[in-house]
């Protein structure tokens, strides 16, 4: 194979979970060849930047040093014979990545707390750094599900906690030929609830210290080492958590930012918030593609993951909002539905090759990301942010509402556009006035279906098709629902922000329940 990467042209970042490869792919007796083959699989789908997460829950993974505790979980024990032979797995991954022309970053989960369930994993009490310092943990001062999910998370108010994370980064920077560090701020807390905004300077100081280490190493080796961050999908969430992303960008502390939710891709993700911040800077923007659009989607179809057409739509919106490229996180999750390594990776090559506005079919899915989540409170993220967009129409109260949705398409070039509106506790005897961007949709363009089995994507986008394979039932939704199918003129849609307005003008007198609309989809054929 010939190298074909240009490291200055970063478009596709692939992040490998600490345990996904170790647990699902690699054999018990891991050799160098297994690790190099893994890197080659990523090379074949044209990954520009490969990130292997090598620090989590107080443990190092893929490398071992007397200075820190190595990961005690069984999937990481299988690396020990290779390490004891004098070979650090991290060195192998870096070397093979560079041979294939890929940029390699060491990923660090800043406050991952999987360690608090380590007993059930058969590894005792987890990291001794964490377990031996209960005074440095986030205290459960409120009887709130938010804190129930944060057991074992460290409080970065304490200088000792920040110094420990910096010391781990220092060892990686000093001893391995990396191209940089990515700090992953997943969905856990970093400061006591409600104090993040006031204490965000602590985290900024920590990042500045790591950046200083990277810059010092850059001067020694003669090439620039970068610092990237993976954060929540809105600026407000970041600030609430104590992550001062605006300052990190304006001061040049970080080289790129990847906004994301932990497991879900939002077709409505406000990428523009970050694009506005990086304008005029050298900071890159790489929002993440995740395996589902919502918790509800995870429960559909036996947990099948987001379709390629849905990913195209999300990616089209990312680019429309100003992204420089994209990242892929938790890609290992859809292993249930297809061979993951390396066959399903080919899907990622199609995402790499995707160009905004390219011909084909795109499916824009808008649903309540966190509906049904109970870990942080019903429909709440780790920050307390509610991610449950909806229109609630009360039969004996407010009978109208609006729903904002993003579709970045040049509609003058679109061949066909259709829209689904799924309304729960609605019947065929309910009648809506529907507007899209203020344009009234005539009744002739609206079809109502009360049987999910009659709904099929092919039928929607190809009116000549009579086939209707349908979708399986959704167990966590109300039993009564209808789907409104809108065969709309493409001219009423806008490239970017759109507004759906619903008004109940005639109600079914035999039904009492309020009508909930929290799923819409837009199908576009170019």
Q: What is the CATH number of the domain that holds 489?
A: 2.60.120
Coil, strand, or helix at residue 160? helix
Residue 6 resides in a domain: no
- Do residues 48 and 102 touch, judged by C-beta distance below 8 A? yes
Residue 2 resides in a domain: no
Query: What does each C-alpha distance from 425 to 265, 294, 404, 450 come to in angstroms?
Result: 27, 21, 22, 11
Confidence of residue 123 (pLDDT cuts 50, 70, 90): low
Count other Cβ atoms within 10 Å, centred on residue 502: 21
Q: Identify whether residues 397 and 292 lie together within a single domain.
A: no
The per-residue pLDDT of the chain, averaged, comes to: 86
Residue 62 resides in a domain: yes
Q: Nearest CA to 402 among 416, 389, 415?
A: 389
Q: Identify whether residues 337 and 479 lie together within a single domain.
A: no
Q: Identify whether residues 344 and 401 lie together within a single domain.
A: no
- How many angstroms separate the CA atoms of 229 and 163, rounded? 18
pLDDT score, position 233? 94
Q: For the purposes of burial, counting CB atoms within 10 Å of the CB of 481, is it exposed (0-12), middle (13-18) or buried (19 or more)?
A: buried
- How many angstroms separate the CA atoms of 234 and 236, rounded? 5
Q: Identify whether residues 409 and 267 lie together within a single domain.
A: no
Q: What is the CATH number of the domain that holds 284?
A: 3.20.20.80
Distinct helix (H) and strand (E) counts, the chain = 16, 20
Residue 1 resides in a domain: no
- Do residues 456 and 469 touch, judged by C-beta distance below 8 A? yes
Residue 384 resides in a domain: no
Read off the pTM.
0.92
Residue 211 resides in a domain: yes
Mean pLDDT check: name the lowest of 186-195, 297-306, 438-447.
297-306
- Do residues 484 and 521 touch, judged by C-beta distance below 8 A? no
Domain range for 485: 391-525
Residue 3 resides in a domain: no
- Do residues 387 and 369 touch, judged by C-beta distance below 8 A? yes
pLDDT score, position 467? 40
- Do residues 62 and 116 touch, judged by C-beta distance below 8 A? no
Q: Identify whether residues 335 and 421 lie together within a single domain.
A: no
Coil, strand, or helix at residue 125? coil
pLDDT digits (tens, 9 = 90+) for 481-496: 888 999 889 999 999 9
Q: How many domains does the chain have?
A: 2
Q: Identify whether residues 61 and 192 lie together within a single domain.
A: yes
Residue 114 resides in a domain: yes
Angle between helices 159-175 and 196-221 (to 10 degrees): 20
Q: Identify whether residues 170 and 216 lie together within a single domain.
A: yes
Would you give the DSSP letter of residue 137? B
317 or 469, which is more confident? 317
pLDDT digits (tens, 9 = 90+) for 208-230: 999 999 999 999 999 999 999 99
Last-in-domain residue among 333, 366, 399: 366
Coil, strand, or helix at residue 492? helix
pLDDT score, position 20? 81
* Alpha carbon distance, N-terminus to C-terminus of the chain: 35
């Amino acid at each position: 194979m010939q190298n074909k990467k240009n490291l200055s042209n970063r478009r596709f970042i692939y992040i490998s979970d600490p345990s996904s490869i170790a647990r699902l792919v690699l054999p018990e007796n891991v050799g160098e060849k297994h690790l190099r083959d893994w890197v080659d699989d990523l090379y074949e789908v044209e990954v520009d930047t490969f990130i292997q997460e090598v620090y989590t829950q107080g443990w190092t993974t893929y490398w071992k040093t007397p200075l820190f505790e190595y990961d005690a979980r069984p999937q990481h024990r299988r690396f020990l014979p290779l390490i004891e032979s004098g070979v650090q797995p991290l060195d192998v991954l870096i070397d093979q990545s560079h041979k294939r022309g890929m940029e390699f970053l060491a990923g660090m989960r800043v406050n991952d707390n999987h360690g608090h369930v380590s007993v059930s994993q058969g590894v005792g009490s987890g990291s001794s750094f964490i377990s031996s310092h209960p005074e440095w943990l986030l205290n459960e001062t409120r009887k709130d599900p938010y804190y129930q999910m944060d057991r074992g998370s460290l409080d970065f108010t304490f200088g000792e906690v920040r110094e420990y994370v910096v010391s781990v980064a220092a060892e990686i920077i000093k001893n391995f030929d990396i191209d940089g560090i990515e700090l992953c701020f997943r969905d856990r807390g970093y400061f006591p609830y409600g104090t993040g905004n006031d204490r965000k300077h602590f985290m900024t100081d920590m990042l500045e210290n790591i950046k200083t280490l990277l810059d010092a190493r850059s001067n020694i080796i003669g090439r620039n080492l970068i610092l990237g961050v993976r954060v929540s999908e809105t600026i407000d969430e970041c600030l609430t958590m104590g992550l001062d992303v605006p300052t990190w960008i304006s001061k040049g502390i970080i080289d790129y930012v990847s906004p994301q939710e932990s497991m879900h891709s939002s077709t409505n993700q406000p990428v523009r918030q970050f694009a506005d911040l990086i304008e005029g800077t050298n900071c890159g923007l790489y929002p993440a593609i995740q395996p589902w659009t919502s918790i509800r989607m995870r429960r559909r179809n036996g947990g099948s993951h987001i379709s390629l057409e849905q990913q195209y739509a999300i990616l089209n919106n990312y680019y429309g909002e100003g992204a420089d490229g994209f990242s892929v996180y938790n890609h290992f999750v859809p292993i249930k539905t297809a061979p993951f390594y390396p066959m399903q990776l080919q899907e990622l090559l199609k995402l790499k090759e995707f160009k905004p506005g390219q011909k084909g079919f795109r499916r824009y899915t808008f649903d309540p990301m966190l509906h049904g989540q109970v870990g942080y409170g019903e429909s709440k993220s780790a920050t307390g942010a509610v991610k449950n967009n909806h229109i609630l129409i009360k039969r004996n109260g407010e009978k109208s509402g609006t729903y904002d949705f993003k579709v970045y398409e040049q509609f003058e070039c679109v061949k066909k556009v259709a829209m689904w509106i799924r309304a729960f506790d609605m019947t065929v005897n309910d009648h809506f006035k529907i507007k899209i961007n203020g344009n009234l949709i005539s009744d002739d363009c609206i079809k109502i279906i009360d049987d999910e089995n009659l709904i099929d994507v092919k039928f929607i986008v190809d009116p000549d098709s009579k086939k209707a394979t349908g979708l399986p039932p959704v167990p966590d939704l109300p039993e009564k629902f209808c789907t409104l199918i809108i065969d709309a003129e493409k001219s009423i849609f806008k490239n970017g922000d759109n507004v759906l307005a619903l008004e109940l003008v005639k109600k079914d007198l035999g039904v009492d329940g309020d009508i909930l609309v929290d799923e819409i989809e837009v199908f576009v054929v170019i």
